[in-house]
Chains A and B, each alone.
Chain A
Amino acid sequence: MAELVWISIDESPVEVEPGTTVAAAILQSDTAGFRRSVTGEWRGPVCGMGICFECRVAINGQPHRRSCQAYCESGMVVRTK
């Protein structure tokens, strides 16, 4: 079995199988709201394929990354909201 990957989501460590996307890892940690919309509503992923932009989070300090299109890498720091 391949080794698990550790990432941090909002300062909590999360352990995932290699090949897991960041969106899937966030959902694994039971977080449904990924970001706030322009009027402050909570939003989460919709299309799962990179077109809706609802799953945006900050990855390693880079804001507005589509989490459904990014794969977890060891030591990654993810921030929702």
Chain B
Amino acid sequence: MTGPEYEVVIVGAGPAGISAACVVAETGRDALLIDDNPSPGGQIWREQERHGSNWEAAHWLRRLQLYRVEVLRGATVIDGDPDKHAIVCETANSVSTIRYKKLILATGSRELFLPFPGWTLPNVMGAGGLQALVKAGMPISGKRVVIAGSGPLLLAVGAYLKKQGAHVLAIAEQASWARLARFGLGLPTQPYKLAEAVQLKRALFRVPYHAGAWVEAALGETVLERVRLSLSHRRWEAPCDYLAVGFGLVPNIELAATLGCKLSAGCVQVDPMQQTSASDILSAGETTGIGGVELSLMEGRIAGYSAIGDRLNAQWLFSDRERMRRFARRMQKAFALREELRHLPLEGTLVCRCEDVSYQRIAPMPGWRAAKLHTRCGMGPCQGRVCGPAAEFLFGWHCQSTRAPVFPARIDSLIGHKEE
């Protein structure tokens, strides 16, 4: 494999990838930052470059420019050969091989979607999904939106949509008040987080927030018309335009797995220097565990120092990282998914949306492999990115299976790089 070589190549231009790239480039080394989106920023700072208002995002994007980090936009890393220190990268009209001395995987996370009756109706979307679409120009002003699922993202999305003029009818958080209260009591030890919580609360003034509540069904003929929620002691049903549902986040480990990095509990395993089990491959941010933007930034910096062999500067940040990881663990516990959600799908509810495979066909299978073989579940274009984590939650299966290419690539990409 030939192609340009960089000292450090970073995959994923979210907070983790950006901070890693800055640390490397600051020392005058050449860094290449690759992302499949048209602009850097990752999930949280999406569209920041065009009309952003977040000071932290602006700060980091300015640093990227200042240190002249080379950014390869609209490019997906689909494969690689760790022995040759090379990755394969696909853009809209080309496929190329790029070589690295050190590789940092900062591929972030995606939303966890769980099946419930009606979840496949058009206008039922992810919570972060709806937010991303609105940021990309979807009109939301005056629309009635119900938000459901779990985690702090629901609040961030609610506040954002309300600011854009949506009528947020309700936010249904599946975690109970008791769990949230226990988590909330710990907040004063994190003054920064507390300020954030107060701000969100103000932004969501008059939006009903229900804890211990979840979506039972989305109803409609061919598109979403009504939503039914289970609140603690009653049912709630209302007509609405959009239902935004996300049950938390899942690390994007597919590329790391393809490159041979060891996983543990669905995350890429790293040592204190953010080094993975594969030589010269590091990982940072939500690929290594869900923890929010601050932890992603911190891990990115450590990975950056680690990649250039600056142990001392990396070690300075260990205690901050540990504090953030502790907070993340508490958060995961507070928002742990409840048993009732396993029983939401009816017999005919689809679990695999690509191949239209129903719950009743998948449930009797002994495991993920058998389900794939006999029902085609997880064999569609999303390669099990949606139904895999759902099946893992519903049936307790181990649903990880990745073979290159990481994403359905154009056929010429495959032929091209295999011939080299």
Contacts and interface: CB of A to CB of B under 8 A. Distances in A.
Contacts of A41: 120, 356
A22 B128 CA distance: 18
B406 to A, nearest CB: 11
Nearest to B140: A27
A42 to B, nearest CB: 5
B36 A28 contact: no
B286 to A, nearest CB: 13
Given A27-B139, A33-B223, A41-B120, A51 B133 contact: no
A43 B137 contact: no
A52 B139 contact: no
Interface string B116-133: 000011111110111111
B355 interface: yes
B122 A51 contact: no
B113 A20 contact: no
A27 B133 CA distance: 9
Nearest to A55: B133
Interface residues of A, number: 35
A44 to B, nearest CB: 3
Nearest to A71: B38
A68 to B, nearest CB: 7
A46 B125 contact: yes
Contacts, number: 110
Interface residues of B, number: 39
A45 B382 CA distance: 13
A38 interface: yes
B120 A43 contact: yes
B375 interface: no
A28 to B, nearest CB: 6
Contacts of A54: 353
B353 A43 contact: yes
A71 B92 CA distance: 12
B222 A42 contact: yes
Interface string A51-65: 111101000000010
Contacts of A64: 381
Given A32-B122, A32-B223, A43-B122, A48 B137 contact: no
Given A23-B136, A28-B138, A49 B355 contact: no
Given A28-B139, A52-B382, A45 B133 contact: yes
B50 interface: yes
A17 interface: yes
Interface string A1-38: 00000000000000011011101110110001110011
A42 B223 contact: yes
B110 A37 contact: no
Nearest to A16: B137
B220 to A, nearest CB: 9
A27 to B, nearest CB: 5
B120 A19 contact: no
Interface in B76-130: 110-111, 113, 120-126, 128-130
Contact of A46 (B43, B113, B138, B139): B113
B136 A48 contact: yes
A48 B131 contact: yes
Nearest to B43: A49
B138 A27 contact: yes
11 contacts: A27-B138, A32-B224, A43-B120, A45-B125, A46-B113, A46-B353, A47-B125, A49-B128, A51-B386, A53-B380, A54-B353
Interface of A: 16-17, 19-21, 23-25, 27-28, 32-34, 37-39, 41-54, 56, 64, 68-69, 71
